[in-house]
Structure 1
Amino acid sequence: MTRALPKGVLLAFYGDDFTGSTDAMEVTALAGLKTVLFTATPDDAALERFKDYPVVGIAGTARSKSPDWMETHLPAVFERLTALQPRLIQYKVCSTFDSSPQTGSIGKAIDIGCKVCDATWAPSIVGAPHLGRWQVFGNLFAATGGEHFRIDRHPTMSRHPVTPMKEGDLTRHLAEQTERPIVSIDVATMASGNADAAADKALSAGAVAFLDVLHDASQEEAGRLVWQRANGKIFSASSSGLQYALVAHWRADGLLPRSAPAFPPVASVKKLLVLSGSCSVVTAQQIEKAEEAGFASIRLDVMAVANAAHAPGEIDRVAAAVRTAFEDHEGVLVYAARTVDDPAFADLQKEYGADRATFTKAQDDIGLALGHLAADLVPRLELRRIVVAGGDTAGRVLETIPVTALEVAHPLGKGAPICRCHGYDPAFDGLQVVLKGGQLGGPDLFVEALKGN
Structure 2
Amino acid sequence: MHTTWPDGLLLAYYGDDFTGSTDAMEAMTAAGVPTLLCLDTPSRELLARFPGVRCVGLAGASRGRTPQWMSDTLPDAFYGLAKLGAPILQYKVCSTFDSSPEIGSIGRAIDIGVKAMNGEWSPMIVGAPRLKRYQVFGHLFAAIGGVGYRLDRHPTMSRHPVTPMNEADLPVHLGRQTDRRIELVDMVRLRSSDALPFVHRIAGSDVPVVMIDVLDDETLVEAGRLVWEGRGDGVFTASSSGLQYALAAWWRKCGMLPASPSLPAADAVDAIAVVSGSCSPVTAEQIRWARANGFHVARLDLRRALDRESAGAEAEHHVRQAAKAIAQGRSVVVHSAEGPDDPDVVGFDAIARAAGMTRHDAARRVGSTLADIMRRLLDETALRRVVVAGGDSSGEVASSLGITALSVLAAMAPGAPLCRVWSDSPRRDGLEIVLKGGQMGEASFFGACLKGAMPTP
User: For the superposition of Structure 1 and Structure 2, which TM-score range results when normalised by the shorter chain?
Assistant: over 0.9
TM-score, structure 1 length as denominator? Answer: 0.96
User: For the residues of structure 2 that align with 1:264 and 1:184, how far apart are their CA atoms?
Assistant: 37
1:329 deviation in Å?
A: 4.6
Q: Which amino acid aligns with 2:254?
A: D
Contact 1:121–1:233 (CA<8 Å) still a contact in 2? Answer: no
Specify the alignment match of 2:120 in structure 1.
120
Relative distance call for 1:137 and 1:113 in structure 2 (3 A) is same
1:204-283 superposed matches below 5 A? 204=204, 206-260=207-261, 263-283=263-283
1:353 deviation in Å?
A: 6.7
1:379 deviation in Å?
A: 2.6
1:265 deviation in Å?
A: 2.2
User: For the residues of structure 2 that align with 1:172 and 1:197, how far apart are their CA atoms?
Assistant: 24
User: For the residues of structure 1 that align with 2:309 and 2:201, how far apart are their CA atoms?
Assistant: 57
RMSD (CA atoms) = 1.8
Post-superposition CA distance 1:152-197 (Å, at most 9, x none): 1001000000000010000000000000000111111123332122
Contact 1:86–1:232 (CA<8 Å) still a contact in 2? Answer: no
Specify the alignment match of 2:324 in structure 1.
324
Specify the alignment match of 2:60 in structure 1.
60
Specify the alignment match of 2:20 in structure 1.
20
User: For the residues of structure 1 that align with 2:233 and 2:354, how far apart are their CA atoms?
Assistant: 44
1:2 deviation in Å?
A: 5.4
1:412 deviation in Å?
A: 0.8
1:105-184 superposed matches below 5 A? 105-184=105-184
Post-superposition CA distance 1:52-75 (Å, at most 9, x none): 411000000000000111111101
Specify the alignment match of 1:10 in structure 2.
10
Moved more, 378-387 or 102-111: 378-387
1:301 deviation in Å?
A: 1.2
Question: Match of 2:266, SS?
Answer: coil
Aligned residue pairs, count: 452
User: For the residues of structure 2 that align with 1:361 and 1:179, how far apart are their CA atoms?
Assistant: 29
Contact 1:110–1:237 (CA<8 Å) still a contact in 2? Answer: yes
1:380-391 superposed matches below 5 A? 380-391=380-391
Moved more, 246-255 or 352-361: 352-361
Q: Which amino acid aligns with 1:219?
A: L
Contact 1:11–1:86 (CA<8 Å) still a contact in 2? Answer: yes
User: For the residues of structure 2 that align with 1:108 and 1:215, how far apart are their CA atoms?
Assistant: 29
Question: Match of 2:191, SS?
Answer: helix
Question: Match of 1:89, SS?
Answer: strand
User: For the residues of structure 1 that align with 2:97 and 2:428, how far apart are their CA atoms?
Assistant: 32
Specify the alignment match of 2:363 in structure 1.
363
User: For the residues of structure 2 that align with 1:390 and 1:60, how far apart are their CA atoms?
Assistant: 14
Contact 2:119–2:231 (CA<8 Å) still a contact in 1? Answer: no
Question: Match of 1:310, SS?
Answer: helix
Post-superposition CA distance 1:90-147 (Å, at most 9, x none): 0000000010011000000000001233442210000000001000000000011221
Relative distance call for 1:426 and 1:178 in structure 2 (3 A) is same
* Percentage identity across paired residues of the two chains: 46
1:199 deviation in Å?
A: 1.8
1:21 deviation in Å?
A: 0.3
1:38-53 superposed matches below 5 A? 38-53=38-53
1:282-431 superposed matches below 5 A? 282-352=282-352, 358-431=358-431
Post-superposition CA distance 1:333-387 (Å, at most 9, x none): 0100011211122332223379998111111111111111121111311110000
Question: Match of 1:23, SS?
Answer: helix
Contact 1:185–1:210 (CA<8 Å) still a contact in 2? Answer: yes
TM-score, structure 2 length as denominator? Answer: 0.95
Relative distance call for 1:325 and 1:365 in structure 2 (3 A) is same
User: For the residues of structure 1 that align with 2:132 and 2:306, how far apart are their CA atoms?
Assistant: 34
Contact 2:44–2:84 (CA<8 Å) still a contact in 1? Answer: no
Q: Which amino acid aligns with 1:244?
A: Y
1:44 deviation in Å?
A: 4.5
Gap regions ≥5 residues in structure 1: none
Moved more, 195-204 or 411-420: 195-204
User: For the residues of structure 1 that align with 2:53 and 2:306, how far apart are their CA atoms?
Assistant: 40
Contact 1:4–1:256 (CA<8 Å) still a contact in 2? Answer: no
Relative distance call for 1:263 and 1:149 in structure 2 (3 A) is closer
Question: Match of 1:442, SS?
Answer: coil
User: For the residues of structure 2 that align with 1:451 and 1:223, how far apart are their CA atoms?
Assistant: 35
Relative distance call for 1:313 and 1:247 in structure 2 (3 A) is same
Question: Match of 1:326, SS?
Answer: helix
Post-superposition CA distance 1:296-325 (Å, at most 9, x none): 101011222222222111111111111122
Contact 2:119–2:232 (CA<8 Å) still a contact in 1? Answer: no
Moved more, 13-22 or 292-301: 292-301
User: For the residues of structure 2 that align with 1:374 and 1:343, how far apart are their CA atoms?
Assistant: 24
Relative distance call for 1:293 and 1:232 in structure 2 (3 A) is farther
Gap regions ≥5 residues in structure 2: none
1:253 deviation in Å?
A: 1.3
Question: Match of 2:287, SS?
Answer: helix
Question: Match of 1:192, SS?
Answer: coil
